[in-house]
Amino acid sequence: MLDLERDEEETFSSSGCYNKDWALLTNKPEKVNPLVCYICKQIANNAVELHCDEHENAEQVYLFGEECLQRYLKENDGKCPIEQHDHCEFVKSKSSRQQVSDLLVICPRQYDMKKKQPKEGITSGEKEEQENQCNYKGKIKEMKDHLDKQCQLISIQHIILLIKELQLQLQIEKLKTEKIDDLQRESVKKDAQIIELTNDIQQVKSEMNQNITQLKKQIEQCQSTCDACTKLNDEIKHLKSEKEINEKKQNEEISKMNNDNQILKLQLDTILTEIGQLKKETQFKNNQTHHIDEDKKENDSTHQLLQNESNSPSKFDFDLFRSSSKLINTFTGHTNWVRSIDYSTLDDCQLICSGSSDKTVRVWDVDNNKQIQSFDGHSDS
């Protein structure tokens, strides 16, 4: 059936090129050869001519079946079949198409049947079919109408095709049966393999369960360890926090102590300064006290001398006293000559009483170096 369809398609087609041998049965070669397709070497159907600029000066006319040329260009990226250049151009060849259409040929089915008989031989079932032949001869352009409406070989060929299809179906069924048997045998093997695999799966499952149990225990141990680590981390964080707080307090205390030390240092410096000042004042006072003691000793000596003079009936010589005694102090107040002077003690105070030509009597405190009383009113007498 497949060979018959292929032969029929090659002999006559509405688009593909026509069988050259079929045309040569009823036409001379010199009439057929100019109409051959340059690609498939059969009679060009729907003939076209190349119209490329590259072939403008060529003496030969390149003729193609339109379907053959289109297929070639598609398979070769549009390259021209002559010089393999780009942008292949072609036009319809009206004269060639007309010549092909006017070729006289026999019925293509009759041609196919005769071509098949030498290959397969004549069977008893086909002897009767030989009596039913198609003797039609006509132009190629009229052949399609003949095949569709007039050819008597249609029913006979159809029966042959049905028989061959039945034979093919029987062969297919046989192959299917053999395939089913093979599949059943394979199925038995697969079942055995499935049972074996099932046992293996059960064993693997058991091992997996054991592994899962062990993993669960390990996970529990890990979880316990993680909990312990978490607790330790919390304690570490707490201790770290306490340490930071303590360090902060210590730093604050240290800072406070430093501030206090600075204050104490300033106070100490102030105290040392005050002590130094006090030492100076004390030294100064000690020096004053020493001078006072020396002055007191001299005063006591002078007092004793005056006392002795006062107890003596003789007259006191003041100039002699001044020349023989050290100058203790100078009392300023009289405005004229001092005519008389007397020395006495009262309540442990050393006193000097002096009379002057300025008509005043003055009382002086020797210890404090100051005048304590002044009396005015004496006359010259």
pLDDT per residue over 121-145, tens digit each? 555 445 555 556 888 999 999 988 8
Encoded amino acid at 353, one letter? C
Q: What is the mean pLDDT of residues 345-358?
A: 83
Model confidence at 119, pLDDT cuts 50, 70, 90, reads low
- Non-local (6+) Cβ contacts of 373 within 8 A are 362, 363
The whole-model pTM stands at 0.40
Residue 324, pLDDT > 90, answer no
Q: What is the mean pLDDT of residues 191-204?
A: 92
- Non-local (6+) Cβ contacts of 129 within 8 A are 156, 160
pLDDT score, position 304? 67
Distance CA 265, CA 360 (A): 61
Identify the CATH number of the domain defined by range 2-151: 3.30.40.10
List the domain boundaries for the chain.
2-151, 329-381
Q: Which two tokens stand for residue 203?
A: 């064993």
Residue showing tokens 């004390």? 282
Residue 21, pLDDT > 80, answer yes
Percent of the chain with pLDDT over 70: 82
Distance CA 90, CA 87 (A): 10
**What does pLDDT average to over the chain?**
82
Contact in structure between 375 and 361 (CB atoms under 8 Å): yes
| pLDDT tens track for 257-315 | 889 888 988 888 888 888 888 888 888 888 877 877 777 777 676 666 656 555 544 44
Percent of the chain with pLDDT over 90: 35
Encoded amino acid at 79, one letter? K
Model confidence at 23, pLDDT cuts 50, 70, 90, reads very high
| pLDDT tens track for 30-82 | 999 999 999 999 999 999 999 898 888 888 889 999 999 999 999 999 999 98
